[in-house]
Structure 1
C-alpha cells in the first residue's frame, strides 16, 4: 500500500529501529504516520500532506510512514487501527483522520520550528517513551473503565458466592438442626475434651464423630459466615495446616431445638 500513488516519494518508509533513528536525525519538522502492518498507513491523507509539503513545508517538513510492529520506540502504538500522527521528537501527537485539524497542527508546528531556528522560541519535547497529555488522558480513561469492570465483576462474584453459602447454610439448618460441630485448636489441652463431653451430656448432646482436620485460608470465608466474634486473620495464620480436633455433636433422639439454640 505504501508504494502506490507516489507515497514512497512523499513519505519516507520506516520499518526498523535503525531507519527510525536515522529519520530522527533529519532537520525540520518530522511528521510520521504511525501504523500497524495489518491495517496499513492512512492513504486518505496523502493529498493533503502533499499539498502542505509543496505549498508551505518544503525541506522544513519531513514526512514518513512508520510501521510500529518492529520499531521498539513505537511499541505503544502497535495493534491499533486508529491513525496516529507523531510529531518527533516528540513535539506533538494527533489521533484520527481529521484533515483540517492535522493541516492546522502541521502549519502551527512549522511556524514554531522556524521560530526556534531563528532563536525566537525554545521547544519543549516529550521523550519517545513518555505519554503525551492526550495519551495520558486516554490511558486514565482506559484504566478507570477497566477498574470499573473489575469492580462490577468482583461484586457480582461475591454476591454469587454469598448467595451460595447462604443457601447451603439454610439447607443444613433446615434438614439437620439436631447436629453441630466444635473445633478444638492445637493449643487446647486434652482435659478440655472430657470436661466439654461431660457438659454436653447434661444438655442431651452426644458425640457422633471426631476427627482431625486442617484449616487453610480458603476456609475462612465459610468459618466466618455470619460470625459475630470473628478471630483475627493473624490468629488463624498460626494454626493453618496444623492438627485441629473436630467434634460432631448430635441431640439425643427425640430432642429438638431451634437452630438459634
Structure 2
C-alpha cells in the first residue's frame, strides 16, 4: 500500500516537465491538480484518487500535481486557495472541477474515465475540448462569480471603514467638547464677509470677544469637514459659492461662563429679530440669517448680471482713462509753457549781457532776430479699445457649471451643537484649540493586531517599553480569535492585581501596534505570537473588533511601560 501512495502522483516542478508529460502521454487520460504554491497541494482527496487510478482505470489514468506559479498556461489559477482539477486528453482540457467535494468529484471522475475507455475503443465524442490556456465556460462563470464576490467584499470593507472613521471622528469631537465650552466660531461665505463688521455690535452686547480670524480658500472636502454635524444648507449652489473665493472664519470667546455658548450664538444669528437698513434706504426686520441669505439664480440672470458688472467696470475704466488723458494733456501743456518761458528768459539774459558789454551792434542784431517761441507739442492719444469691449451678455464658458436656481445660499454658518463646534474649531483654529486641549488624531497610522499568550505579557512589555509611541492600545482578553474576545483588563498591571482573572483559559495580551516603524513588530515576532494581522487592512478590522473607539478613555495604557522601566 505504501508503494501505491508513492506512485500515485507525479510532482511537476516546472513548465518544461508539464509539457513533456502531456506530449509523451497524449493518448492517456490525465488528471492534473493545479494549486498555488502559497497554500500547497491538497491531500483531502488522496484516498479517492487511489480508487480512481487503481480500481476504475486499472492504473491507466495519470495523476499530476502542478504548481500554477511555474506554468504560464495555467497562470489564471494563481493566488487561489481552492484546488482545481483538470481532466486532459490529447493535450486538450475535457473537463474541470473546483473544490474538495469528494462525492461530486467522484461522479465527474467516473464519467471522464468511462468516456476515455469508450474513446480508446474507437468511440468519437462530440463534446467540446479546450486549450490549456483557454478558460472553459464553467471557469468563466466561476471567475465572474469570484470577481463579483471580491467587489462586494471590497465595497463592504470600504463601508465598514467609513463607519469606523465616522465613529472615531465623532468620538474625537466628544472628547474635546468639555474643554472648548468658552470658544466658538462663525464661518462667513466669500460674498458675505461684510456681515462680520455689521454684526459686531451684537457680540459686544453679549460679552463675546474675537480671539481669532482666518481668511482661507476652501476645497469641497475641507468645507464639508468644517460643516460636519451641522445644519448648513449643503447644496450645489452654497458649496460652489463657499469654495469660489476667500471665506472668513472668526473665533470668539465668551466672557460669561454661565451661558451655553452654542445656544447663545445661534440665538443671536438665527432667532433674534433685528432691524436692518436695505440698499433702498428702507428698513426691514428679521433674523440675521434670513437677512444675509440669498438664493441661486438662473443661468440667464447670472450672465446678465456679469455683463452689467462688466459694462460698469469698463465704463469706470474708460472714465479713469479719460481723466488720466486729460491730466496728461494738462501736464504736457504746462511743460510746453515752462519751456517757452525758459527760452524767453534765456534771450533776455543774453540781451542784458550784450548791453553790459557795450556791444550795441550784436544787441541790435539779436533784437532783429525773430523770437522762436513756437515749440513742438506731442498730443497724448486715447488708447484704442479692444474688440472684447463689445462682448454680448450671453457669452460664457461652455464647460462652466451653473447650479439649479432657487437653492439657499447662506451668508454665514454657526455650529448648532457642541460636536459640530468642536470639530469645526479643530479644523479652522488648531493653534487656539491646542491651548485648551490636545485633540486625538483623527486618522490612525497603519496598524496590526498582535496577540500573545498571557504568560508572555511581561516579555512583551519589556520589548515595547522601547517603542511606546508605536503602541496604540494594550489589553488583556479571553479570546481564541480577534472576533470572540472578552475584555478582562486594560493593562498588565491591572491584570496582575486581579488573581481571579489569571486562572481564566485562553487569556491573551492583545496589542494594537503601529507599523510605521516595523522594528517593534519584528521584535515581538521573536516571542512567537499566536496571532498577527496579515496586513494593515486586516489589522484595522481586527483591532476595531477588540478595541472600540472609546476603549480606555479613562485608562492610561502607558503605566505598564513606566512600571517596566
TM band (smaller chain) = 0.5 to 0.7
Match of 1:228 in 2: 231
Distance 1:69 1:225 in 2: 49
Task: From the superposition, tell whether residues 21 and 158 of structure 1 become closer, same or farther in structure 2 (CA, over 3 Å).
Answer: farther
Task: From the superposition, tell whether residues 209 and 73 of structure 1 become closer, same or farther in structure 2 (CA, over 3 Å).
Answer: same
Task: From the superposition, tell whether residues 141 and 225 of structure 1 become closer, same or farther in structure 2 (CA, over 3 Å).
Answer: closer
Residue 91 of structure 1: SS of its match in structure 2? Answer: strand
1:118 aligned to 2:126? no
Q: How much has 1:236 moved relative to structure 2?
A: 4.1
Q: Which residues of 2 match residues 141-180 of structure 1 at below 5 A? A: 144=152, 147-148=155-156, 150-169=158-177, 171-172=179-180, 175-176=181-182, 179-180=183-184
Question: Is the CA contact (8 Å cut-off) linking 2:10 and 2:65 kept in structure 1?
Answer: yes
Question: Is the CA contact (8 Å cut-off) linking 1:52 and 1:103 kept in structure 2?
Answer: no
Distance 2:16 2:136 in 1: 17
Distance 2:186 2:161 in 1: 35
Match of 1:128 in 2: 135
Q: How much has 1:134 moved relative to structure 2?
A: 5.8
Question: Is the CA contact (8 Å cut-off) linking 2:56 and 2:113 kept in structure 1?
Answer: no
Q: How many residues align?
A: 248
Distance 2:126 2:104 in 1: 23
Residue 228 of structure 1: SS of its match in structure 2? Answer: coil
Q: How much has 1:51 moved relative to structure 2?
A: 0.3
Match of 2:557 in 1: none
TM-score in terms of structure 2 length: 0.36
2:14 to 6, 13, 16: 16
Bigger Rg, which one: 2
Question: Is the CA contact (8 Å cut-off) linking 1:210 and 1:248 kept in structure 2?
Answer: yes
1:72 aligned to 2:61? no
Residue 53 of structure 2: SS of its match in structure 1? Answer: helix
Q: Render the CA deviation track for 1:68-112: whole Å, top value 9, x for unaligned.
A: 2212333354466655422242522142273x6544322212334
Q: Render the CA deviation track for 1:29-76: whole Å, top value 9, x for unaligned.
A: 431022345634649346334304652x73xx4432212221233335
Distance 2:241 2:36 in 1: 54
Q: How much has 1:223 moved relative to structure 2?
A: 2.0
Question: Is the CA contact (8 Å cut-off) linking 1:224 and 1:230 kept in structure 2?
Answer: no
Structure 1: gaps (5+ residues): none
Q: How much has 1:138 moved relative to structure 2?
A: 6.2
Residue 190 of structure 2: SS of its match in structure 1? Answer: coil
Question: Is the CA contact (8 Å cut-off) linking 1:216 and 1:240 kept in structure 2?
Answer: yes
Task: From the superposition, tell whether residues 110 and 121 of structure 1 become closer, same or farther in structure 2 (CA, over 3 Å).
Answer: farther
1:44 to 43, 46, 49: 46
1:93 to 75, 90, 97: 97
Distance 1:49 1:245 in 2: 80
> Which one has more relative contact order, counting CA pairs under 8 Å at least 6 apart?
1
Q: Render the CA deviation track for 1:121-167: whole Å, top value 9, x for unaligned.
A: 42365933873656666666666556545544442332232232244
Structure 2: gaps (5+ residues): 265-565
Task: From the superposition, tell whether residues 77 and 214 of structure 1 become closer, same or farther in structure 2 (CA, over 3 Å).
Answer: same
